[in-house]
Structure formats: C-alpha cells, structure tokens
Amino acid sequence: MHEPIPVRSRFFQSVSAYFDRAADLTSFPAGLLDQVKSCNSVYRMKFPVKDDEGNIVVIEAYRAQHSHHRLPCKGGIRFSAHVTQEETVALAALMTYKCALVGLPFGGAKGSVRIDPRACSPGFRERITRRYTAELIKKNFIGPAMDVPAPDYGTGEQEMAWIADTYRAMKFNEPDLYACVTGKPLDLHGIPGRREATGLGVSLGIKECLDREEDMAELGLTPGIAGKRVIIQGLGNVGSYAAHFLQKAGASIVGIAELGGGIYNPAGIDLRHATRHFRENGSLADFGTGEFQEDPARTLEMPCDLLVPAALEGQITAANAARLQARIVAEAANGPVDDEGEAILLKRGILIIPDLYLNAGGVTVSYFEWLKNLSHVSFDRMSTRISEDAKTKIMDSVEQLTGRRLDPAQRAIVTAGPHEIDIVHSALAETMAVAYHSIHDAWKTRDLPDLRTAAFYVAIDRVCRSYQAHGIFP
C-alpha cells in the first residue's frame, strides 16, 4: 500500500497537474511551455539570528523567482514553521499565472521563512525579517525593478515596514527605494485599501461569477450574492474581509471554521461579534449562537450555497470532497482544493472559482502601491480637485435649467471628488470584472472543462506570448 503524499507535496503536484492540463490544450511549442512551467531561480539560505536570551538560532528561508518574462517579480513572504522549498516554488508559479491572468506586468515570486511567528517575540521577528532582507539584497533578490515582496500568511504591515527600512539603509541612493516592497503601512508610503484588498477582491470575483444567470441556473441557484448561504474557513485578513463584504452584499454567513473548532447556524451568524470573540479568546467555543464543532473540518461539510476556504492549501481533498454540500467552492486561499479533491467536486457538478483568479486582489492593489511609489504622488492628488470642479459646473447648469437648488449637504455629496481609496477600490473592481470575463469567455467559447482550466489557459497564453514578443521563442 502506498503512503499518502504529504499535503505540501500534493500542493506542488496539483499546481503542476493544473498547468499540464491547460498547456495540453494550447498550440505553443513544447520547449516554450517547459520554460513557462520551470522556476527560473530559487535562493535557499540559512543565517544566524540571536533569540531574546542571546542564543544563536539558525533560520532557514527561501525566495523563489519563478518567471523573468516580465520584471520585477512579485510575490508575498510567508512566515510558517511548515514552509518548504517545494511549496515556495509552487506558490511562486501561481503568482506568475495570477499576474498574467489579471494583466499585471510582473513575473511570479514567493518568499518564505521557516519560523512560527506566533511563538516569536516582536524583537526576534524583527531581527529575522531584517536579516532575511539583507540576504535578499546581497543576491539581488529584492528591488523595485527586480523583485518586490508583499505580505502573505504570517506577515503583515509591520514586517513590510522592517523590510522597507532595511532596504533604505542599505540602498539609500536609490530614488524609488520604497517601491522595493508593498503592503507597507500608510505612514510609510503604503496605499489605502491594501489591507482589505484580497478579501474585497474575493467578494468582487464571487459577484462576477454569481451574476451570470445561465451558470447559476445550471447549479439551481438564483443570480447574485443576496440571500446566499456562506461558510467561511479562516478568520485571518482574507477570510474576515471576504466575509464582511459578502455579508454587506446580502449574503448570510451560516458557518465559520477556524483553528480549534467551527460554528454553524443556518439562521445566520453575527460576523462582527464572532470575529471579536475569536480574536479575544483564540477560539469560537462558547460563542453562544450556533452549533460548535470541535473539528473545524466538519463545519465545511454543512449545508450552504457557497464555501469559501480562506486558510491554507490542501483543505479539500479526496478524503472530504464527497461530503461537501456547497454548490460553489470559492478558493480565497492558495491551493485549498488539491487535484484529487477537485476531480470529485467537478464530477458532482460543483463549480470551483479558482484561486488563480479569486485571490488576485492583493497583488492587484500591490501593483497600485508600486506605481504610486514609483511616481511619488498619490492617485487622488492629480484628479480630485478637477473632478470636483467639473461636477460643480454640471450642478450649476442643472440648477439653472431646473430652477431647483440642492441644499449644501446634498450638493457636497454630489460634487465630491474621489479619494485615493475610491480610486483603488474602483480599479480593483474593474480588474476583477475584466479578468473574469476573459476566463468565462475562454471557458465557454473554447469548450474548456472548467473555470480553473480556463484560467490557466488564459494565463499560459499570455506568458507564452510575452516570451515570443521578446524574440526568445518563435
């Protein structure tokens, strides 16, 4: 009897299988497809850092640059005790295809540091982050024109601030140095909307999918988010914001699964109170409403219209795919459904909205932040006042023609120009809408088997054409 493949090995295997399935449907030369699939470079490093007691701890870390078809490379940095080089390469590959799919001028990359961030003091975590950054600088694995990291699982604005500060200290003559990393705090040249970007993008992507009346009819669902029963796995940054925006659009959050257990209530869960309870207690036990289940995997199997796994990879496999009762699985995390689990879901007629598309909101807004850092000006500074002046002239004309004047409060609302966050959210919504249209069009017009294959097909086509435009391949 064969031993089961470890989850993280299955993740790498799944990404490769998804690529091969879509690549076989294209007409590009085998050598070109091999280049697109291959990881260009991986930097595996070990470096010493003193812990809080002054002892030397050797830290293992990675940075993978999957594709140089466009530069800079782009991808987050993950802090986890379970990261491997194989997982990092798989995540970098997904970033290549993801950026191509949503039209961003980046190659894919990913970084990882093998630590448990929850077990580290802030000081120890800072020393690790700064030393990791220094190692990347030495090997030219970071820089505004070469490789631009961002937050990922186990990291956030604070780590990105330490990276930016370390880069500034070592590269102080560079004019665009703050473009070396995205996901920074607002006070350190970040951008409004980056914190919620991935979760908001998830909700926008789900909206695009659910608005297709013919697709929903095949699933026995009515179009639109309103009234849909949703189960969320993970109350981290992505899951909490995705749940918030879905609930705001009219969905009912009926289940939440987290470390240590899950809750399910077909009548709906108060998301704000559940989130606060989890953050204060580290568990959803004793929340007070709904059925608590010690095994969070059971929560995923409860009745719902939409299941949103927003935690880690390998959550839906051959072991549990047959028991899911959702009609749609929306992959907010990277690789939550492996290839064996996917085959079961597709056979059962369950629609999968792939991670390759659905969680692209984070890198999309990171792109906006990178552009802002390169141009050294916020997006609203150049447009807000001229927009307000134009709206004011229109309102003056309307009031003269109608003889009716708005009160000052109404007039201020109508003539207000956009703030930077309005521009960011609008551009993100446009990006998700255009990308879904390209996937859906490929799915239907080319008679592809599913949305994931269509997403990979579109991404592979764009990366291959980029290589051909460089004259590298015929």
CB 294 within 8 A of CB 261: yes
Residue 74's CATH number: 3.40.50.10860
Q: What is the pLDDT of residue 1?
A: 36
Q: For 365-378, what is the mean pLDDT?
A: 94
Which residue is catalytic, options 37, 74, 98, 110? Answer: 110
pTM given for the model: 0.90
Same domain, 96 and 216: no
Residues 217 and 131 in one domain: no
Query: Do the domain assignments include residue 25?
Result: no
464 within some domain: no
Is the domain of 160 the same as that of 210? Answer: no
Q: What does the pLDDT read at residue 416?
A: 79
- Residue 314 counted as domain residue: yes
In a shared domain, residues 175 and 215:
no
Taking CA atoms, 82 is separated from 117, 133, 279, 350, 398, in Å, by 11, 20, 23, 30, 63
* Segment 320-354, tens digit of pLDDT: 999 999 999 999 998 899 889 999 999 999 999 99
Query: In this predicted model, what pLDDT tens digit does every residue of 37-55 receive, in sequence order?
Result: 999 999 999 999 999 999 9
Q: Which conformational region is residue 268 in: left (phi greater than 0), alpha (psi within -120 to 50 degrees), or beta?
A: left
Say yes or no: 213 and 143 in one domain: no
Q: Is 110 a catalytic residue?
A: yes
Mean predicted confidence (pLDDT) in 432-438: 97
| H, E, C per residue of 336-356 | CECHHHHHHHHHCCCEEECHH
304 and 427 within one domain: yes
Q: What is the domain count for the chain? A: 2
User: Same structural domain for residues 251 and 309?
Assistant: yes
Question: Contact 317/338 with Cβ under 8 angstroms?
Answer: yes
Residue 8 belongs to some domain of the structure:
no
Residue 236 and residue 131 share a domain = no
State the chain's mean pLDDT as an integer.
Answer: 91
What residues pair up with 63 in beta bridges, in sequence order? 43, 111
What pLDDT, in 10s, does the model give residues 442-458? 999 999 999 999 999 99
Model pLDDT for residues 271-313, shown as the tens digit of each residue? 988 888 888 887 888 887 778 888 888 999 999 999 999 987 7
Output the pLDDT for position 2.
40
**Structure-token pair, residue 165:** 């500060």
User: If 0-12 CB within 10 Å is exposed, 13-18 middle and 19+ buried, where does residue 391 land?
Assistant: middle
Residue 1 lies in a domain: no
CATH number, residue 222: 3.40.50.720
Over residues 50-75, the mean pLDDT reads 96
Question: Mind listing the pLDDT tens digit for each residue in 117-162?
Answer: 989 999 999 999 999 999 999 999 999 999 999 999 899 999 999 9
Last residue of a domain, one of 146, 164, 188: 188
| Confidence band for 6, pLDDT divided at 50, 70 and 90 | very low
- Supply the DSSP symbol for 321: G
Query: Do residue 216 and residue 181 come from a single domain?
Result: no
pLDDT digits (tens, 9 = 90+) for 214-261: 999 999 999 999 999 999 998 888 999 999 999 999 999 999 998 888
Contact 150, 160 (CB under 8 A): yes
5 pLDDT band, cuts 50/70/90, is very low
Look up the domain containing 148 and give its range. Answer: 36-188
Q: What is the pLDDT of residue 248?
A: 94
pLDDT(19) > 70? yes
User: Residue 471: inside a domain, yes or no?
Assistant: no
Whether residues 173 and 221 fall in one domain: no
Cα Rg of the chain (Å, integer): 23
pLDDT in tens, 72-96: 999 999 999 999 999 999 999 999 9
Q: Are residues 445 and 297 in the same domain?
A: yes
Both 55 and 161 in one domain: the answer is yes
Q: What local confidence, expressed as pLDDT, does residue 4 receive?
A: 42
The lowest-confidence range among 286-295, 356-365, 427-436 is: 286-295
Q: Which residues contact 202 (CB under 8 A, 6 or more apart)?
A: 238, 241, 242, 245, 308, 310, 330, 332, 358, 359, 361
Beta bridge partners of 262: 257, 293
pLDDT at site 474: 61
